[in-house]
């Protein structure tokens, strides 16, 4: 078994941190209590451990291949995708009205983590389909919804997001792909899109591209961008795939990691007669989503779902890297332990520095999982709570969490997968071992769906400065309550965690004040510290959730429940506080006192 | 030009931090003053920029290939190596009596950095040859010295270090390769060595393996290990390569990075008659170096030279990654700067977070270069100062620096090369861009020649606890003097740096006290913090050297010398203090107050 889903930890978070049984009191989720969660997660674990995880190394060795416009995915992917689709996994979190199971994101996120741990490259296809579903649910016409949603939700068809062009990466104002309106209400799309994940593949009958383009005569900049559905095959009246549309994959990228995931360059309407659609002339036939010039707004719907999901990818790859490192550290015998606890050479897990590495990997992973699970519960409440104020509060909390889940969980995954290689020593650098793949795969996570800097801009601008720091301070107030509970609990572990949590929260508040006070007058100073602020905030929230975990674990320990697990949770929470949360005050100093030195070097001196 | 040697920065360090003109007062180095350094470095830069750097990407795309026991290196490597050898670069730091140029390490280290920036994979071959030369110089018999040294120093032959076996990585006590004494005073070697860098290749006429093995009947453990010279071709009486020895490359590894460097599995004496040497029976003919059972001691001579050199590799790959990131950041246009300094989309170097990333890369690189240069000067003085006490003090300083140069410079290179990819955004993940190669290449540096944990054990045990913290505190006293000078200087930059330096030094002293006081009674607690201690100490020393640089730069600025360079140095030193040195107090807390939580988790709970 190359991967075993951390079911206990996931269910602990879902039950005790996210409060699934509270969520199940909402009308939308009345069947989605703890028992449902447990049943779904167990089934999901089985599928991913057995059918998907073994294909991870295969995908690295036999990446997707482009030949004459076709993409041939890694051997085994097509069959695994068929099982994924037939198992109903694509529809897990989507509404029952369109064929989904309507389960909360709180459960869906855990399933997403498993799929990503099993195979990051494979999981990207469903991840993008989820984004397409979200966009159509929110902004698609009835016709678009009825044509595409059932097939997307069932997994028969897959979806993509087409934002990037060679000159337009983080800066979507530079998008040039154009959409020419036609007499029949459709559009013809012309342009080149790059970095399109699963932009072409052989696992499904149709691919539904969601494409940003500029309608002829639209304003410059982001206010002139519209969103279109462009299917690979136009859809017949009976719902089956029909004529081939004029969108073609001209190449796929040769990447450092996630090699099985085809990253396509797509050409929309290359103007050759041979590519005419149904003999009606060149250009890919596109269908407007929502209204013209509101494309960016809709795209953000997809984007936000995708950002959260990429954060989960960070947790997922960290978990798998951790499991592999633990297995190696138990097996590999080398040197006598410094404390003399073993008389001769011992498995390296006995060496303190190996323990430090494994604990760091574990603590980051559990901390970020707890943060993501709580964020998911807020999303669920924000969408389904009967009380408007509760919806609004949960929405604000969730929106604050998205850049943290995306930014912090992916940044930590770089450190974790690096430690994963390090634990293996020289063997880690040899590709056959598999540890290096996680290190290479993870590096995309801090880049796509908005780099860490883009997440940090979002945190600084939309999530902190815009409401004058209100949401940030509300979160701080909640953390303060946890500090109080830790003090009341009074165990040495609780007190140690409370001290670090207090120091980290003070550091956070200083930075929030700095961002709010200086944002207008000194944007350079504030944005110079944006990524460190994100790292501090993510660190704090993950540490806070582990602190809550510690409180729960100490309670349950007293009632004699699963002693080994509870003790481990307590030890992990304390390690996190003393070795990861402890970084927060230093970050505060750099942000608040060191802003000017970031931009002091003359441009031509670099 | 894909790489341009940072000559100004190197010469600044060599002149003002390492004091090359003081060094040139020593009899051994009377021709090696600043002007010599400048001339040698300029020549070296030209060679590496033009002949070696362009082969770096080639080596990644066309790695060394194994076929039927032969290794075919990357196209172009053989010719570049010929030029390297003919240029006399291999002999730069080696004694004139064996054909070298006898230049100080202070100059040699800078040349080593350039070669490694140009091509990490290529540079490994000379790096290992240097180690073999050191070992033979120190412990080889006259006959071994006269047979091998001239050809190694000229670069006609290359050297290797054979330590690792499948079961013996960090733990050399487990070495099983055996040496059977022969009547003629030679030995026959039998066993398998793995991870042998340039263990087989086609760039030189002979390969001189230095091999750890156990003489029949020797004691168990590290006290029964001897060191042997095992040439690929036995040497004829006239000094030319003769009969093929019974050592063969049975495969090379498929690695994540440094792909052009062949990492060989070597079989010594496979026992088949066909492999007999000169019809004298099986086993590779080996020649004892020094005395039996003192192999580990001699191996450490090679190892220490190699550890320092691997630290320089970290600086080298960081420098190249930085240069590539700066070039991209100047070119890539994306988004309007937050401060409105440019009316429309601007090169991304205008964005504060890109500046933060580039400054981080730059500050780490310059800080570690300064640290390594000063350490090299101490090495030179330790070997050639006429005064015994000065030699001893310099030796102690150098030995303290080796784990920091190796450990800290390579760990920082992981962060720097990761940022190098990040600056490129999505393009960084595409292999054609080249940024990803540095990220993949760098990961071996924290592993080979002793992992970071092994360096940290050395720092804790031999370098700190053994002398009761004396050397560590002597270094602290020197740093305190720099703080005084900064305070006296009084500029805002000097004061800001002094504050951070003081805080970091206090953190360091606390940890030194902790290590000295607790080492015996609580080895787990001390070794749980060994790597964080190394990171704190390396951070401090690099920051200290940049603080010294700031003082020099402010002086020279007043005298009007190279204003742009001096201002850049000051800005970089301040950035380092505020954004990197600022991490030190947090590390202290984790080490001193968080030791127990590292090993608190039950072994079976992982």
Note whether B176 contacts A: Cβ–Cβ < 8 A: no
Contacts of A596 (CB under 8 A, 6+ apart): A525
Give the helix ranges, DSSP H, for B48-187.
55-61, 77-86, 105-118, 120-139, 142-153
Q: Do B601 and A568 touch (CB under 8 A)?
A: yes
Q: Do A170 and B335 touch (CB under 8 A)?
A: yes
Burial class, B502, CB count within 10 angstroms (exposed 0-12 / middle 13-18 / buried 19+): middle
Q: Which helix (H) or strand (E) holds A455?
A: helix A452-458
The residue extents of the domains of chain B are 54-87+119-293, 452-596
pLDDT at position A51, please?
98
Q: Do A349 and B440 touch (CB under 8 A)?
A: no
Q: Do B426 and A448 touch (CB under 8 A)?
A: yes
Note whether B521 contacts A: Cβ–Cβ < 8 A: no
State mean pLDDT over B97-122: 98
- How many helices and strands (H and E) does chain B possess? 20, 12
- CA B274/CA B287 separation, integer angstroms: 22
Note whether B564 contacts A: Cβ–Cβ < 8 A: yes
- CA A194/CA A28 separation, integer angstroms: 39
- CA B336/CA B320 separation, integer angstroms: 28
Q: Do A425 and B578 touch (CB under 8 A)?
A: no
- CA A527/CA B365 separation, integer angstroms: 23
> SS3 string of A249-314?
EEEECCECCCCCCCEEEEEECCCCHHHCCCCCCCCEEEEEECCCCCHHHHHHHHHHHHHHHHHHHH
Which tens digits make up the pLDDT trace of B408-461? 999 999 999 999 999 999 999 999 999 999 999 999 999 999 999 999 999 999
Which tens digits make up the pLDDT trace of B237-292? 999 999 999 999 999 999 999 999 999 999 999 766 566 777 778 899 999 999 99
Burial class, B219, CB count within 10 angstroms (exposed 0-12 / middle 13-18 / buried 19+): exposed
Helical packing angle, B352-384 and B295-331, nearest 10° = 150
Q: B413: which chain A residues are within 8 Å (Cβ-Cβ)?
A: none
The domain made up of A54-87+119-293 has a fold known as Butyryl-CoA Dehydrogenase, subunit A; domain 2 (2.40.110)
Of A356, A428, A430, the CB nearest to B254: A430
Residues A89-115 as b or e (16 or more Cβ within 10 Å = b): bbbbbbeeebbbbbbbbbbbbbbbbbb
pLDDT at position A409, please?
98
Note whether A342 contacts B: Cβ–Cβ < 8 A: no
Tokens 């120091």 appear where? Answer: A503
Q: Which residues of chain A have pLDDT under 50?
A: none
- A200 belongs to the catalytic site: no
Q: Do A425 and B583 touch (CB under 8 A)?
A: no
pLDDT at position A1, please?
66
Contact between A210 and A132 (Cβ < 8 Å): yes
Q: Do A256 and B439 touch (CB under 8 A)?
A: yes
Contact between A322 and A362 (Cβ < 8 Å): yes
Instruction: Kindly identify which residue of chain B lies nearest to residue A353, measuring between CA atoms.
Output: B528
- Best of B252, B360, B429 to mutate (most A CBs within 10 Å, chain A): B429
Q: Which helix (H) or strand (E) holds B179?
A: strand B178-181
- CA B486/CA B488 separation, integer angstroms: 5
Q: Do A594 and B579 touch (CB under 8 A)?
A: yes
Q: B456: which 2 tokens? A: 């940290």
Query: In Å, how far from its chain's centre is CA A506?
Result: 28
Note whether B579 contacts A: Cβ–Cβ < 8 A: yes
- CA B414/CA A106 separation, integer angstroms: 35
Residue of B241, B246, B341 whose CA lies nearest to B285: B246
Note whether B333 contacts A: Cβ–Cβ < 8 A: yes
Residue B561 CB neighbours (<10 A): 11
Shortest Cα distance, chain B CAs vs residue A321, angstroms? 13
State mean pLDDT over B198-223: 97
Contact between A514 and A591 (Cβ < 8 Å): yes
Q: A402: which 2 tokens? A: 């998205």
Shortest Cα distance, chain A CAs vs residue B456, angstroms? 9
- CA B162/CA B196 separation, integer angstroms: 6
Of A425, A589, A598, the CB nearest to B352: A598
Residue of A25, A33, A12 whose CA lies nearest to A552: A12
Contact between B579 and B520 (Cβ < 8 Å): no
Instruction: Kindly identify which residue of chain B lies nearest to residue A319, measuring between CA atoms.
Output: B606
Shortest Cα distance, chain B CAs vs residue A345, angstroms? 9
Q: Do B431 and A333 touch (CB under 8 A)?
A: no
Of A167, A173, A426, the CB nearest to B195: A426
Residue B591 CB neighbours (<10 A): 28
pLDDT at position A303, please?
86
Instruction: Kindly identify which residue of chain A lies nearest to residue B252, measuring between CA atoms.
Output: A430
Note whether A579 contacts B: Cβ–Cβ < 8 A: yes
CA torsion through residues B96, B100, B103, B106, sign: negative
- Residue B277: HSE in the Cβ half-sphere, 13 Å Cα cutoff: 25
Note whether A195 contacts B: Cβ–Cβ < 8 A: yes
- Best of B161, B197, B325, B453 to mutate (most A CBs within 10 Å, chain A): B453
- CA A598/CA B574 separation, integer angstroms: 9
pLDDT at position A301, please?
82
Q: Do B257 and A603 touch (CB under 8 A)?
A: no
Contacts of B424 (CB under 8 A, 6+ apart): B325, B328, B332, B433, B435
Q: B253: which chain A residues are within 8 Å (Cβ-Cβ)?
A: 429-430
Instruction: Kindly identify which residue of chain A lies nearest to residue B579, measuring between CA atoms.
Output: A590
- CA A208/CA A241 separation, integer angstroms: 11
- ipTM above threshold 0.85: yes
Of A329, A334, A575, the CB nearest to B597: A575
Shortest Cα distance, chain A CAs vs residue B204, angstroms? 26
Q: Do A571 and B597 touch (CB under 8 A)?
A: yes
Contact between A44 and A111 (Cβ < 8 Å): yes
Instruction: Kindly identify which residue of chain A lies nearest to residue B322, measuring between CA atoms.
Output: A606
- CA B483/CA B489 separation, integer angstroms: 10
Confidence label for B31 from pLDDT (cuts 50, 70 and 90): confident
Shortest Cα distance, chain A CAs vs residue B327, angstroms? 9
Contacts of A346 (CB under 8 A, 6+ apart): A333, A334, A335, A336, A337
Beta-bridge mates of residue B66: B71
- CA B265/CA B261 separation, integer angstroms: 13
Contacts of A396 (CB under 8 A, 6+ apart): A467, A471, A474
Candidates A200, A449, A483, A493; catalytic one:
A449
Contacts of B422 (CB under 8 A, 6+ apart): A446, A447, A451, A452, B357, B428
- CA A82/CA A77 separation, integer angstroms: 8
Q: Do A335 and B171 touch (CB under 8 A)?
A: yes
Give the pairing of strands B206-215 and B178-181.
Answer: parallel
Note whether A371 contacts B: Cβ–Cβ < 8 A: no
pLDDT at position B420, please?
98
Shortest Cα distance, chain A CAs vs residue B605, angstroms? 6
Note whether B567 contacts A: Cβ–Cβ < 8 A: yes
Q: In angstroms, how far apart are the furthest CA atoms of chain B?
A: 84
pLDDT at position A498, please?
98
Q: A440: which chain B residues are within 8 Å (Cβ-Cβ)?
A: 256, 440
Candidates B449, B483, B493, B593; catalytic one:
B449
- CA A222/CA B135 separation, integer angstroms: 65
Of B425, B571, B601, the CB nearest to A601: B571
- CA A213/CA A163 separation, integer angstroms: 9
Which tens digits make up the pLDDT trace of B450-485? 999 999 999 999 999 999 999 999 999 999 999 999
pLDDT at position A449, please?
95
- CA A298/CA B487 separation, integer angstroms: 56
Shortest Cα distance, chain B CAs vs residue A198, angstroms? 16
Tokens 């301070």 appear where? Answer: A473
Among residues 199-258 of chain A, which lie with CB inside 8 Å of chain B?
253-257
Q: Do B531 and A425 touch (CB under 8 A)?
A: no
- Decide: helix, strand or coil at residue A239: coil
Cβ-Cβ contacts under 8 Å between A and B: the total is: 267
Of B164, B359, B436, the CB nearest to A601: B359
Contacts of A525 (CB under 8 A, 6+ apart): A518, A595, A596, A598
Taking CA B21 as the corner, what is the angle to CA B18 and CA B24, rounded to the nearest 5 degrees?
A: 105
- CA A492/CA A495 separation, integer angstroms: 5
- Best of B417, B600, B604 to mutate (most A CBs within 10 Å, chain A): B600
Which 8-state DSSP code applies to residue B215? E
């Amino acid at each position: 078994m190359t991967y075993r889903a951390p079911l206990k930890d996931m269910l602990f978070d879902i039950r005790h941190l996210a409060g699934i049984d509270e969520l199940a009191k909402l009308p939308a989720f009345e069947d989605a209590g703890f028992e449902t969660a447990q049943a779904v997660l167990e089934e999901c674990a089985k599928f991913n451990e057995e059918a998907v995880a073994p294909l991870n190394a295969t995908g690295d060795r036999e990446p997707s291949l482009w030949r004459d416009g076709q993409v041939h995915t890694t051997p085994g992917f097509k069959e695994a995708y068929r099982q994924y689709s037939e198992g109903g996994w694509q529809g897990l979190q989507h509404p029952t009205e369109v064929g989904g199971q309507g389960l909360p994101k709180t459960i869906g996120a855990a399933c997403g983590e498993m799929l990503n741990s099993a195979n990051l490259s494979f999981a990207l296809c469903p991840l993008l389909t989820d984004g397409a579903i979200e966009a159509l649910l929110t902004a698609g016409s009835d016709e678009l919804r009825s044509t595409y949603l059932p097939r997307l939700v069932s997994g028969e068809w897959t979806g993509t997001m087409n934002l990037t062009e060679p000159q337009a990466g983080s800066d979507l104002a530079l998008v040039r792909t154009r959409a020419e309106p036609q007499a029949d209400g459709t559009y013809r799309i012309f342009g080149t899109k790059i970095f399109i994940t699963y932009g072409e593949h052989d696992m499904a009958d149709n691919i539904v591209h969601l494409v940003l383009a500029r309608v002829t005569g639209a304003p410059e900049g982001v206010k002139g961008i519209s969103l279109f559905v462009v299917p690979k095959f136009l859809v017949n009246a009976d719902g089956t795939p029909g004529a081939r549309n004029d969108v073609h994959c001209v190449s796929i990228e040769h990447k450092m990691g996630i090699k099985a995931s085809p990253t396509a360059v797509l050409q929309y309407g290359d103007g050759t007669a041979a590519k005419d659609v149904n003999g009606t002339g060149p250009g890919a036939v596109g269908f407007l989503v929502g209204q013209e010039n509101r494309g960016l707004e809709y795209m953000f719907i997809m984007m936000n779902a995708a950002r959260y999901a990429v954060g989960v990818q960070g947790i997922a790859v960290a978990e798998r890297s951790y499991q592999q490192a633990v297995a190696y550290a138990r097996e590999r015998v080398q040197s006598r332990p410094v404390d003399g606890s073993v008389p001769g050479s011992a498995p390296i897990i006995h060496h303190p520095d190996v323990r430090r590495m494994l604990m760091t990997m574990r603590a980051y992973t559990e901390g970020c999982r707890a943060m993501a699970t709580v964020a998911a519960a807020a999303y669920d409440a924000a969408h389904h709570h009967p009380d408007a104020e509760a919806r609004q509060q949960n929405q604000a909390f969730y929106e604050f969490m998205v850049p943290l889940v995306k930014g912090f969980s992916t940044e930590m995954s770089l450190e974790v997968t690096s430690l994963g290689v390090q634990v293996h020593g020289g063997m880690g650098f040899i590709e056959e071992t598999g540890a290096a793949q996680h290190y290479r795969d993870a590096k995309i996570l801090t880049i796509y769906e908005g780099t860490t800097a883009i997440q940090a801009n979002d945190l600084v601008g939309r999530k902190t400065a815009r409401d004058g720091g209100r949401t940030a301070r509300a979160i701080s107030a909640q953390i303060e309550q946890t500090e109080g509970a830790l003090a009341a609990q009074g165990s040495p572990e609780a007190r140690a965690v409370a001290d670090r949590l207090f120091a980290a929260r003070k550091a956070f508040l200083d930075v929030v004040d700095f961002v709010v006070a200086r944002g207008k007058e000194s944007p350079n100073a504030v944005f110079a510290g944006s990524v460190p602020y994100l790292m501090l905030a993510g660190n704090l929230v993950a540490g806070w959730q582990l602190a809550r975990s510690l409180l729960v674990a100490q309670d349950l320990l007293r009632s004699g429940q699963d002693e080994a697990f509870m003790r481990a949770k307590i030890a992990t929470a304390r390690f996190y506080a003393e070795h990861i949360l402890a970084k927060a005050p230093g970050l505060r100093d750099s942000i608040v006192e060191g802003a000017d030195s970031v931009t002091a070097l003359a441009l031509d001196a670099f």
